[in-house]
Amino acid sequence: MKIQTLKQVVQGCGKVTVRLTDKLLDESWGQKGMLADVIQCIDKKDGCRFVFDYQRYLDNDLPLQPRNYYIANGLGTAFEASLMSMNRVQEEIYLEKDGEISCELVDGLLDKYLSSGSKLSFVEWMGARLNVTSSEDLVVSEIKALDGMKIDELHQKADEYC
């Protein structure tokens, strides 16, 4: 994913969930397959600083953590080596603006927004989608509500609308 795309989504939504498609950086905690919330993006002169929060996904992420830190009885994870705290599993990643980042959005709706090529912000795009679909959804919900009614009830309902 392009860094500028991730930046745009995070700044538009405030937080976005991603799945790492490869290790973030050599010195990063994030490994392929891990899930994280990108909770902040700060624009810098020649790059972007992202904050990845892994706290909500520890059950998924801990088994993916490599054992490459020396501990008393061999090699262990960053947690076992006391380099990471279970109370705040976050890391900051600084990346150049024009590069790529090894992650994909988990939210299908955000994928649809990005693939639409819309110039609207995500919130504006969602609002436009709601305006277009709300009347269609109302008709569908009315049809579903009528499903299974007896013919006399249908005639009564139709009289109410007229």
Per-residue pLDDT of 83-102, as tens digits, reads 777 777 898 999 888 889 99
Please determine, for residue 136, whether its predicted confidence score (pLDDT) is greater than 60: no
Each domain of the chain, given as residue ranges in start order, spans: 3-117, 125-161
CA 85 – CA 90 distance, rounded (Å): 9
Q: Where are the alpha helices (DSSP H) in the chain?
A: 3-13, 58-61, 108-116, 122-146, 151-161
Q: Which has the minimum average pLDDT: 52-66, 87-101, 143-157?
A: 143-157
**H/E element, 93:** strand 90-96
pTM of structure? 0.66
Which residue do the tokens 């994280």 mark? Answer: 36
- Point out which residues pair with 2 in neighbouring strands: 100
